[in-house]
């Protein structure tokens, strides 16, 4: 099984080392990806028992993010990056997904207008 691109049902977003992202800590804008190296809780798929969010090295502790380490509710996941949204909306490899998910495409178009 590859981990380049997948989907996390819990947090309702694309994951994998092929997905460019921003650290999910609310005060951080560090560029990362949503691969296992950045997922909260010991590089387990979908975050194992952690929140499943993704953090840069500054916000990823030994036992996960600061919220999971303290047993608190997780941070809100950040939106997809402009780079990822444009890729899904324009790359031919995502054509079938666009055809099968018109509501998601509409949501992405709205998000894209907000991040421009």
- Please write the tens of the pLDDT for every residue from 74-116: 999 999 999 999 999 999 999 999 999 999 999 999 988 876 5
Domain that holds residue 98: 79-116
Q: Is the pTM of this model over 0.95?
A: no
Q: Do residue 73 and residue 100 come from a single domain?
A: no
Do 62 and 85 share a domain, yes or no?
A: no
56 pLDDT more than 80:
yes
Same domain, 54 and 105: no
**Burial (0-12, 13-18, 19+ Cβ within 10 Å), 87:** middle
Distances (CA, A) of 59 to 1, 30, 32, 38, 65: 28, 10, 12, 10, 6
Mark whether 74 and 87 lie in a shared domain: no
On whether both 44 and 33 belong to a single domain, the answer is yes
What is the model's pLDDT at position 50?
85
């Amino acid at each position: 099984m590859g981990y380049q691109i997948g989907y996390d049902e819990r947090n309702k977003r694309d994951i994998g080392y092929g997905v460019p992202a921003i650290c999910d800590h609310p005060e951080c804008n560090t560029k990362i990806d949503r691969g296992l190296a950045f997922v909260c809780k010991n590089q387990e798929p979908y975050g194992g028992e952690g929140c499943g969010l993704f953090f840069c090295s500054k916000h990823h502790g030994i036992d996960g993010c600061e919220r999971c380490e303290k047993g608190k509710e997780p941070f809100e996941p950040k939106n997809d990056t402009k780079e990822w949204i444009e890729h899904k909306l324009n790359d031919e490899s995502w054509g079938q997904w666009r055809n099968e998910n018109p509501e998601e495409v509409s949501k992405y178009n709205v998000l894209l207008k907000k991040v421009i």
